[in-house]
Amino acid sequence: MGGAVNRLAAWLFAPMPLARVAVLRLLVFAFVVVDVLLLHTSGWYHGYADPVWYEPLVMGRVLHLPAATVLLVETLKWGCVAAAVAAMTGRAPRLLGWAVAVGWTWYQYVAFSYGKVDHDRADFVVALVLLPTVGLAHLSDQRRSEAAGFALRAVQLAAVATYFLSAWAKVRFGGWEWVNSATMVRAVVRRGTPWAQWLLEVPWTLHWFQWVLFTAELTSPVIFLLSERWRRRVVAGWFVFHAMTYAAITIAFWPHLVMMLAFLPLEQYAARLRARREPLGSPRPRVFERLTRS
Task: State which of positions 200-219 bind other proteins (CB under 8 A).
Answer: 200-201, 203, 206-207
Residue among 22, 131, 170, 255 that touches other proteins (CB under 8 A): 170
HEC readout, the chain: CHHHHHHHHHHHCCCEEHHHHHHHHHHHHHHHHHHHHHHCCHHHHHCCCCHHHCCCCHHHHHHCCCCCCHHHHHHHHHHHHHHHHHHCCCCCHHHHHHHHHHHHHHHHHHHHCCCCCCCCCCHHHHHHHHHHHHCCCCCCCCCEEHHHHHHHHHHHHHHHHHHHHHHHHHHHHHCHHHHHCCHHHHHHHHHCCHHHCHHHHCCHHHHHHHHHHHHHHHCHHHHHHCCHHHHHHHHHHHHHHHHHHHHHHCCCCHHHHHHHHHHCCHHHHHHHHHHHHCCCCCCCCHHHHHHHHC
Q: Residue 182, interface with other proteins (CB under 8 A)?
A: yes
Residues 125-154 that bind other proteins (CB under 8 A): 125-126, 130, 133, 142-148, 150, 154
Residues 93-112 that bind other proteins (CB under 8 A): 105, 108-109, 112
Q: Residue 85, interface with other proteins (CB under 8 A)?
A: no
Name the minimum Å distance from CB 181 to other proteins.
4
In the complex with other proteins, the residue whose CB is nearer, 77 or 121, is 121
The span from the CA of 283 to the CA of 234, in Å, is 37
Residues 237-266 that bind other proteins (CB under 8 A): 253, 265
Name the minimum Å distance from CB 80 to other proteins.
16
In the complex with other proteins, the residue whose CB is nearer, 31 or 114, is 114
Contacts with other proteins: how many residues (CB under 8 A)?
A: 86
Name the minimum Å distance from CB 134 to other proteins.
9
Q: Residue 224, interface with other proteins (CB under 8 A)?
A: no
Q: Residue 49, interface with other proteins (CB under 8 A)?
A: yes
Q: Residue 65, interface with other proteins (CB under 8 A)?
A: no
In the complex with other proteins, the residue whose CB is nearer, 49 or 216, is 49
In the complex with other proteins, the residue whose CB is nearer, 96 or 179, is 179
Q: Residue 283, interface with other proteins (CB under 8 A)?
A: no
